[in-house]
Amino acid sequence: MINFLILPILVPLITAVILIFLNKSVIAQRWVAGLSAFATVILSALLVNQVKNDGIQTLNLSNWDAPFGITLVSDMLSSLLVLTTSIVAFACIIYSFKGIGEDREKYHFYAALQFLIVGVNGAFTTGDIFNLFVFFEVMLMSSYALILLGGTKIQLRESIKYILVNVISSGLFVIAVGYLYSVVGTLNMAHIAERVSEISGVSQPGVITIIGIIFLIVFGLKGAIFPLYFWLPGSYYAPPAPVMAIFGALLTKVGVYSIIRTYSLFFYEEGGYVQQVIMILAILTIITGIIGALAYWDVKKIIIYNIIVAVGIILFGVSTMNENALTGSIFYLIHDMIIKAGLFLLVGLMATITGTNNLKQMGGLIKNYPGFSWTFFLAALALAGIPPLSGFVGKVLIVQGGFSSEHFIGAAIVLASSLFVLISIMKIFINGIWGEPKTFANEKTVPYKQLLIAPVILVILSICYGVGADFVYPYISQAAESLINTNLYIDAVLKE
């Protein structure tokens, strides 16, 4: 039987190497990148089906069995995130054919993007805490190239901050892994969970809690939780739309996934210190994101601050750590990856048509661009969680989980965030799309129909995800089950 687990990592890796040698032919790069991305989507879907039918998949990359060798692990959470990543990457590549510019395409844009997908899919799939660091670095090195590609003044300025923050974060990551290894004597995540359980007894010792907080700082920097989000608004604002969409949809979610995986496996303690810290930070993250989204009149900044809101909502569900909340967090995580990518591509198209990111200089786009306008409207409703769209189901489950665990204030803030997110996103629709039509200098040269294809695909997928919640719920529920019952993950990896 074919094990599809490694293919969503291997295919982009081989593609990236091939694309390095095709830099002189933009057309060849587009074909290879597009076909590879589509193949990765198919392989990821087959992986999800394999996990659904056969349970958690593992693959040892040497003759050494776990916990001594390097192990890849794909449970339902991992496989769903790999599939979503592949879909988002495919959509962004389609948009890039007309939306990134040939100058960037010639300088290995598609190769860097494929390497980034290797890092993201690898981080979702690895069963080894040190190799999580390795895949993080693959992802980050690719993102350094992408954020700089084009060499505009704002890119050069923001890239310094972005690289500096991530270098510090990577240093802390290595320190945290070293401390953890000194305590438990292993790097395999399933084996770490066993060792932590053995040494913890009735309650976790202080050293495990301290290591947990260090990891929270590391992943919090990458996931942009309060107060570690300070680098994100400027850094994500700098690159062009398809890169911004990839960053906004995927990179912060790798940090969120890392918190979910490590917290549920070996830093979780009912009512423990780490749990309380994550919950408080999640609530503060939501509030901070809402303030930023409401304050700005820049279309990119509004969507960027809504990333921060979503991170807070997901982590509140994770910190609650009951079945409803975890299921809701996973549902909302996948929703947010899809809809954020679509919205970034839409505001990128909006900025391309109007020649500005300032809402006060826009207006009346619905007259000449009705397809774009109503696509954006549906995306806005989905982001805010209006039923029956995709944001609704996850948020309701998170709120139910919060109330059932008697975390009333946090659940109320999550519920109220829907209103504020809707206000922030509808500000774009009312001021930029509705209203008095304006004439824009470059709009006739914009390949509008071609650029609209990718965001339409993502918005339609988001609608189907919400309307078809009954169909996808068994997959999400299976993903939550492996987080709640960690023995399923441990036994699959260690073959107990």
- Cβ 178 vs Cβ 152: under 8 Å: no
Higher-confidence position of 174 and 101? 174
- Average pLDDT (270-293) is 87
pLDDT, tens digit, 9 for 90 and up, residues 429-453: 988 888 777 777 776 777 888 999 9
**Omega within 30 of 0 (cis) for the link into 227:** yes
Tell me the three state secondary structure of residue 407: coil
Cβ density class 103-137: b for 16+ within 10 Å, e for less: ebbeebbbbbbbbbbbbbbbbbbbbbbbbbbebbe
pLDDT, tens digit, 9 for 90 and up, residues 39-50: 999 999 999 999
Q: Does the pLDDT of residue 1 top 60, yes or no?
A: no
Split at pLDDT 50, 70, 90, the class of 275 is confident
* Max Cα-Cα span within the chain: 69
Rounded CA gap, 159 and 87, in Å?
26
- Average pLDDT (32-39) is 95
Q: Which residue from 480, 423, 194 is spatially nearest to 292, judged by alpha carbons? A: 423
- Cβ 333 vs Cβ 453: under 8 Å: no
Rounded CA gap, 139 and 132, in Å?
11
Tell me the three state secondary structure of residue 21: coil
Confidence (pLDDT) at 271: 52
- Cβ 314 vs Cβ 391: under 8 Å: no
- Average pLDDT (164-191) is 90
Confidence (pLDDT) at 200: 62
Split at pLDDT 50, 70, 90, the class of 202 is very low
Letter for the amino acid at 455? P
Q: Does the pLDDT of residue 113 top 80, yes or no?
A: yes
- pTM attached to this predicted model: 0.93
Confidence (pLDDT) at 49: 93
Ordered alpha helix ranges (H), 355-447: 365-368, 370-384, 390-404, 408-428
Q: Does the pLDDT of residue 496 top 70, yes or no?
A: no
Split at pLDDT 50, 70, 90, the class of 321 is confident
pLDDT, tens digit, 9 for 90 and up, residues 345-370: 999 999 888 888 888 888 888 888 88
Rounded CA gap, 107 and 117, in Å?
18
Environment class of residue 160 by beta-carbon count within 10 Å: exposed (0-12), middle (13-18) or buried (19+)?
exposed
CA distances from 463 to 161, 378, 466, 491 (A): 36, 8, 5, 36
Those residues whose C-beta lies under 8 Å from the C-beta of residue 288, and which sit 6 or more positions away, are: 226, 227, 229, 308, 312
Arithmetic mean of pLDDT over the chain: 89
Tell me the three state secondary structure of residue 446: coil
Q: In this prediction, what percent of the chain has a pLDDT beyond 70?
A: 97
Split at pLDDT 50, 70, 90, the class of 91 is very high
DSSP state of 226: T
Confidence (pLDDT) at 65: 78
pLDDT, tens digit, 9 for 90 and up, residues 362-418: 888 888 888 999 999 999 999 988 888 888 889 999 999 999 888 899 999 999 999
